Amino acid sequence: MNAFTDIVGHKNIINALKHAVKNGSTAHAYIFDGPVGVGKKSVAATFAKVLNCERGESEPCNRCKSCLTFDAGTNVNYYGITHEKKNITVGDIRTQINANVSYPPQNGKYKVFTVPDADLMNIEAQNALLKTLEEPPEYVVFLLICTNYKRLLHTIISRCMIYKFMPLASSDVINYAVENLKLTSESASLYARYASGSIGKLKSMTGSEEFSEIRSRAFNLFSNSETSDIVTVYSMAEDMKKYESNILNGVLDTFFSIVRDAIVYKQTGNIKYVMQSDMANEIKEISFRHELEGLFVIFDELYKVKKRLSANGDVALLTESLLMTIKENSK
């Protein structure tokens, strides 16, 4: 990411950050909160670069030593916090943050600490960070990146400037896919429907051979659910267990779109209201094979499963129950 102007969307947040840099009114700690893949890390990285750019303006110059080392990943004033365990532990905070805050930057104005997945800090880790946040040295800036900042202690939240990142407009996601990923506008629109305003999500789907295969399996499952035997159901549940969470979410979103389209077609009888126009025949077939009531039952179950999975529910159990609901509600 070279400059704020390269970032898709989030213009209000970017303008506020640029304004703060220009006026010398930056805060010591920020929370960037919002869904995965919408651009929080890109904004954080560019902001970190701007803070130490020798030109001192609200966009990075991309020529000074600080900008060049930042791009090369060797900037000594920038700390990207990593963690090996599922949670960020007190050890991570002590060795990567607390050990480095007490002395000022060698060159440049700020030491910038970015904490991706900051809401994965356990309580001890948060308390360790809090000590620094309570009396931050002048030269320290923290960028805490979260998907749910409410998991953080109140005492941390109250010391941070909070920026909430919203999903991107579908048109922005489509333009990005056409311009940067060289997709045709038709396939960009298709992927954008599943990406829910997240470029990160769109990238993980387009980069995945699994996604188109999963989509056709999902359609198959709905079309043949009343004839598919229990072994088919279990084998698909077994496969779903192996998917990474972003792919698994893609599968659930595919199910959602299928059910949504089948409901719409059943109610309107008009294919032009269907989102997945490339699968018009399949949608017609699926809506023919399901009662309206059954489709609503599946929709509710999908909603429940998605919620439980995001709370770390058992993937195998939840997907089995979902697939059985789909099967049972077919005629």
> By the criterion CB under 5 A, which residues form the site for Zn ion?
53, 61, 64, 67
The CA-atom distances, in angstroms, between 91 and each of 31, 75, 101 are 21, 23, 15
Least spacing, CB of residue 42 vs Zn ion, in Å: 17
CB 263 within 8 A of CB 199: no
Least spacing, CB of residue 138 vs Zn ion, in Å: 21
The CA-atom distances, in angstroms, between 295 and each of 251, 280, 286 are 17, 17, 10
Sign of the alpha-carbon dihedral angle for 308, 309, 313, 314: positive
Nearer to Zn ion, 53 or 121 (CB): 53
Nearer to Zn ion, 64 or 161 (CB): 64
Nearer to Zn ion, 17 or 251 (CB): 17
Least spacing, CB of residue 71 vs Zn ion, in Å: 10
Token pair 């309206």 is at which residue? 292
Residues 6+ apart with CB under 8 A from 174: 185, 188, 189, 192
Least spacing, CB of residue 57 vs Zn ion, in Å: 9
Nearer to Zn ion, 56 or 313 (CB): 56
Other C-beta atoms within 10 Å of 204: how many? 20
Least spacing, CB of residue 17 vs Zn ion, in Å: 16
Least spacing, CB of residue 60 vs Zn ion, in Å: 5
126 sits in which H/E element? helix 123-134
Strand-pairing partners, residue 32, are 145, 163
Rg (CA), the chain: 23
The CA-atom distances, in angstroms, between 323 and each of 3, 37, 229, 239, 250 are 46, 28, 11, 12, 15
3-state secondary structure of 175: helix
Least spacing, CB of residue 56 vs Zn ion, in Å: 9
Strand-pairing partners, residue 112, are 78, 141
Backbone angles phi, psi at 63, to 5 degrees: -125, -25
Nearer to Zn ion, 34 or 105 (CB): 105
Least spacing, CB of residue 144 vs Zn ion, in Å: 24
Nearer to Zn ion, 69 or 204 (CB): 69
Nearer to Zn ion, 14 or 146 (CB): 14
Residue type, 220: N
Least spacing, CB of residue 96 vs Zn ion, in Å: 25
Rounded distance between C-alpha atoms, residue 255 and residue 321, angstroms = 14
DSSP-assigned states of every residue in 276-298: -GGGHHHHHHHHHHS-HHHHHHH
Nearer to Zn ion, 51 or 199 (CB): 51
- Give which of 207, 198, 308 is closest to 252, Cα–Cα: 308
Nearer to Zn ion, 53 or 326 (CB): 53
